[in-house]
Structure 1
């Protein structure tokens, strides 16, 4: 079950098989059902999640009681409320399974023990956070520089498999518009 994580670790750090098994000993695994929340607003954020199989999304509920998706995590991606996780604080986000998902996860305390015992994991998590930060930067750039329609078309062109995999109402939530508006855009594309 942890083969994805083993491969992901090996992409970023050199680690021998014995150390790799010791590293994996710091993580736990779980299966979550589709639409199951693994973090809810108002809870203390205790875990950092790695998607072995499936898909998660992070969202908040805005002042109009509308869910606004801020992030997706597919296979080989980590997700948490970074600020709340780091500070062991209450979150304002939800993390929910979009599909039935297999996860590896680690507590903040165990992650600290892990990087103390295996300093190379500090390097690994630095790469993970750099990639996540870069993805967030690109999303912000697109939000400010592209029309909502162009943002969708760009996603469709660059990540067609992902766009086809995610329910359309969640794509609309991620892009900041209604599912009805996304339907209008899709009808124009098909013509």
Structure 2
């Protein structure tokens, strides 16, 4: 379990074996069943997680009870509600397992303590945070400037390892279209091929 986290960390920072062990030992493994909620909207998010196995969706439910999926997290992705985690406020997001999954979780207190003890950990999380901000910024720009067809094609290209794990309803909620619109998009794209 820890080997994937260790490998991931070493891709971003140079860290001694001793410090890496100490950092990884702060994580707790949690097994999450398909459809189980890891975080419920309204609760305070007290973890950051590293997905070891499985797939999660991070979403907000709007006033019409429709899901708006912010992102999916598969193996080697980090997952949390960063606003709730940092600011200790009720989450506006829900995190749900789409498959039987395994995730390594670290608490805010443990993470903050390790920041002070290991600059490498702070650097790692800063780099991951910057990557997340860049991805979010690109997603917002794409949603504002690209057609649903362009967004769907880009999703297929960017996340080929994820598409087959999702339902049409989930992909539609991520793209911000109805399942019927997604079905029409698929037919149109197949017709062009």
TM-score, normalization: structure 1?
A: 0.95
2:28 alignment partner in structure 1: 28
Equivalent position of 1:40 in the other structure: 40
Aligned to 1:169: 169
Instruction: Report the CA distance between 1:166 and its aligned residue.
Output: 2.2
- Deviation at 1:175? 0.6
Unaligned residue ranges in structure 1 (runs of 5+): none
Deviation for aligned residue 1:165:
2.6
Is 1:78 aligned with 2:78? yes
Q: State the number of aligned residues.
A: 191
Matched, 1:113 2:110: no
- SS of the aligned residue for 1:48 comes to strand
2:15 counterpart residue number:
15
Q: Distance in 1 between matches of 2:31 and 2:48?
A: 15
In structure 1, what is the Cα distance between the partners aligned to 2:17 and 2:158? 36
Q: C-alpha separation between the residues in 2 aligned to 1:150 and 1:183?
A: 14
What RMSD over aligned residues (CA atoms) do the two structures have, in Å?
A: 1.2
TM-score, normalisation: structure 2: 0.94
CA distance in 1, matches of 2:158, 2:97: 23
* Structure 2 spans left out of the alignment, 5+ residues: none
Q: Distance in 2 between matches of 1:4 and 1:60?
A: 29
Once the two structures are superposed, the pairs formed by residues 82-101 of structure 1 within 5 Å of their partners are 82-101=82-101
- Give the whole-Å Cα distance in 2 for the aligned partners of 1:90 and 1:141: 27
Question: How big is the shift at 1:98?
Answer: 1.5
1:81-110: CA deviation from partner (whole Å, max 9, x where unpaired): 111100112111101111211100111111
* Distance of 2:158 and 2:29 partners within structure 1: 31
Partner-residue secondary structure (3-state), 1:30: strand
